[in-house]
Structure 1
Amino acid sequence: MSELDAVLHDLREESAELDNLVAGLADARWRLATPAPGWTLAHQIAHLAWTDAAALLAATDPEGFRAEVAKADADPQGFVDAGAEEGAVLPPADLLAGWRAGRDRLWQVLSTAPAGTRYPWYGPPMSVASMATARLMETWAHGQDVADALEVRREPTGRLRQVARIGVRARDYAFFVRGLPAPAQEFRVELTGPGGELWAYGPEGAAQRVTGPALDFCLLATQRAHRDDLALRAEGEDADRWLDIAQAFAGPAGEGRRPRGGGPAGEGGDSGGDAPEGGGR
């Protein structure tokens, strides 16, 4: 199985898992509040549908997509919230049907794209595999908000490898969006996967290191949990700083998820500041 085939398979599986969480809900449950301030379950699914539509536009009409980027640049937060609000007011059955149709259409376009294709995006242009990975990351992250609101514990799967990978690769971007210089040296990141396997990134002898459960790293990089509530360890000043600001998504940083024990939001958490790539609300 190629890298793209593997990512597309995981994207479909991740979408199906989230679909199963919401498909049988009574209409009133779609108005349940989620950890993202002001967003209900309906907003979460509407946002995914809206971002899938943006990705489809980028893949099929690059010039039309660039016009949408200009709107986003003018008001990043308002632009995202408006997209979610528009879908959230739909009857749940219509919203769910629209999300299903849109994600299936995007999946078909990505799976048949010519080799070497790159799409414009809100950040740097992305390859087909990167676009699919970003969609998986966002689906998982917003699915976590839905699961938290429903008080459901999702079992971590090997699909987290895709989320972890994009989180590691976005290291320099996390510094950039905060106006900070990126560390000059590579980091070593060692994560323990759901089955006890080791997922390692970067040179073994790197002085700056991050270790811990892959699930915790993914929660941190998508800003679904505060660092204080996670079993991640940093060695080195730069690595420690990264764990305060890590984000796997394009767009500005959020205010931060609050620790479960209360207190002010950390710089790397996320109570706001969503971006079109979707990790951050």
Structure 2
Amino acid sequence: MVDPRVVFDDLRDESDELDSLVGGASVADWGRVTPAPGWSVAHQIAHLAWTDRVALLAVTDADAFAGEVEKAFAAPYAFVDEAAEEGAALPPVELLARWREGRAALQDALRAAPAGARFPWYGPPMSAVSMATARLMETWAHGQDVADVLGVTREPTARLRHVVHIGVRTRDYAFGVRGMTPPGDAFRIELTAPGPGGEVWAYGPEGAAQHVTGPALDFCRLVTQRAHRADLALTAHGPDADRWLDIAQAFAGPAGPGREPRGHGREGGA
């Protein structure tokens, strides 16, 4: 069992790292378009601020959160972009303050949540730890878009393990959201952790016929659709594993278009 405090601390640290990128950015930098079509740096931060706000509602006010779900049902393919557009229209200093305030409030609420409590979400209900893990995954992914457009190479950390965890657990979801039947057998996933030690993060039964190997960083970039599979050093062994790497997604919602290979046109996917 993972210590909830570790997950909460890692979410805080992941957010702080992204904050350090945008906190000193110029107004012009906030307006630069990231690899997600139509999304500037401001849109990326606005999206994180909005998601923190609705996550806080899920944890503290289920009735108010139900209203947010109704908005999503009314415009399933637009509500995320509309929220990001609204936030991105704010002056950067105001948007940054809103994001900082919202994520701090969410941290407090998650840490204070009763053990075993589950909260509503756009998918299945989530525990406080699951909610924090999902927020870390999104923060890392949108932070990657920001880093890419600002020309910053981020040093991968052990916090990626949380992103890997979601990526592995959402295997069947990735098939189901595309109307495909998930494979019946478990996969073996072996990923090399960041850092010089060469530690391997392993999931699933040893000796499984279907397995995936490669760097953990590349797996995270794949399941968050921040890079095309062709640009990553991931290897699938078995036809089902191979198919999964083509469609993997760690986020809820419709299947995204993903990113095109480098040098093959405009990258896609928010």
TM range (shorter): over 0.9
Task: Identify the residue that residue 103 of structure 1 maps to in structure 2.
Answer: 103
SS at match of 1:152: coil
Task: Give the superposition deviation at 1:2.
Answer: 5.1
Task: Identify the residue that residue 278 of structure 1 maps to in structure 2.
Answer: none
Does structure 1 residue 77 correspond to structure 2 residue 77?
A: yes
Q: How does 1:26-65 map to 2 (within 5 A)?
A: 26-65=26-65
Shift of the 9–77 alpha-carbon distance from structure 1 to 2, 3 Å rule, reads same
Question: Which digits, 9 at most, give the CA deviation of each residue in 1:169-194, with x for residues without a partner?
Answer: 00000011000111100000000000
Does structure 1 residue 92 correspond to structure 2 residue 92?
A: yes
Structure 1's unaligned 5+ residue stretches are 273-280
Task: Identify the residue that residue 148 of structure 1 maps to in structure 2.
Answer: 148
Task: Give the superposition deviation at 1:254.
Answer: 1.1
Q: How does 1:105-144 map to 2 (within 5 A)?
A: 105-144=105-144
Question: Which digits, 9 at most, give the CA deviation of each residue in 1:4-61, with x for residues without a partner?
Answer: 1111111000000000000011112110010000000000000000000010011111
Does structure 1 residue 6 correspond to structure 2 residue 6?
A: yes
Partners in 1 of 2:134 and 2:158 — Cα distance?
A: 16
SS at match of 1:77: coil
Task: Identify the residue that residue 25 of structure 1 maps to in structure 2.
Answer: 25
Task: Identify the residue that residue 186 of structure 2 maps to in structure 1.
Answer: 186
Tell me the amino acid that sits aligned with residue 263 of structure 2: G
Tell me the amino acid that sits aligned with residue 201 of structure 2: W
Task: Identify the residue that residue 242 of structure 1 maps to in structure 2.
Answer: 244
Tell me the amino acid that sits aligned with residue 245 of structure 1: I
Partners in 1 of 2:75 and 2:182 — Cα distance?
A: 26
Overall identity of the aligned pairs, in %:
69
Structure 2's unaligned 5+ residue stretches are none
Question: Which digits, 9 at most, give the CA deviation of each residue in 1:76-133, with x for residues without a partner?
Answer: 2310011001110111000000000000000000011000010111111111110000
SS at match of 1:211: strand
Partners in 2 of 1:212 and 1:61 — Cα distance?
A: 41
Tell me the amino acid that sits aligned with residue 188 of structure 1: R
Does structure 1 residue 208 correspond to structure 2 residue 184?
A: no
Task: Give the superposition deviation at 1:242.
Answer: 0.3
Partners in 1 of 2:164 and 2:141 — Cα distance?
A: 12
67-76 or 110-119, which moves further after superposition?
Answer: 67-76
Partners in 1 of 2:33 and 2:2 — Cα distance?
A: 39
Partners in 1 of 2:165 and 2:136 — Cα distance?
A: 12
Task: Give the superposition deviation at 1:74.
Answer: 2.3
Partners in 2 of 1:260 and 1:9 — Cα distance?
A: 34
Task: Give the superposition deviation at 1:256.
Answer: 2.0
Which consecutive segments of 4 or more residues in structure 1 shift more than 6 A?
A: none
Normalising by the residue count of structure 2, what TM-score does the alignment of the two structures yield? Answer: 0.97
Partners in 2 of 1:185 and 1:2 — Cα distance?
A: 25
Partners in 2 of 1:225 and 1:37 — Cα distance?
A: 14
SS at match of 2:190: strand
Partners in 1 of 2:205 and 2:7 — Cα distance?
A: 24
Partners in 1 of 2:76 and 2:12 — Cα distance?
A: 28
Question: Which digits, 9 at most, give the CA deviation of each residue in 1:56-76, with x for residues without a partner?
Answer: 011111122122112112222
SS at match of 2:131: helix
Partners in 2 of 1:178 and 1:75 — Cα distance?
A: 19
Task: Identify the residue that residue 257 of structure 1 maps to in structure 2.
Answer: 259
Partners in 2 of 1:26 and 1:136 — Cα distance?
A: 25
Partners in 2 of 1:188 and 1:117 — Cα distance?
A: 31
Does structure 1 residue 173 correspond to structure 2 residue 193?
A: no
100-109 or 251-260, which moves further after superposition?
Answer: 251-260
Normalising by the residue count of structure 1, what TM-score does the alignment of the two structures yield? Answer: 0.93
Task: Identify the residue that residue 275 of structure 1 maps to in structure 2.
Answer: none
Tell me the amino acid that sits aligned with residue 138 of structure 2: E
SS at match of 1:212: strand
Partners in 2 of 1:63 and 1:137 — Cα distance?
A: 26
| Partner residue of 1:223 out of 222, 225, 249 | 225
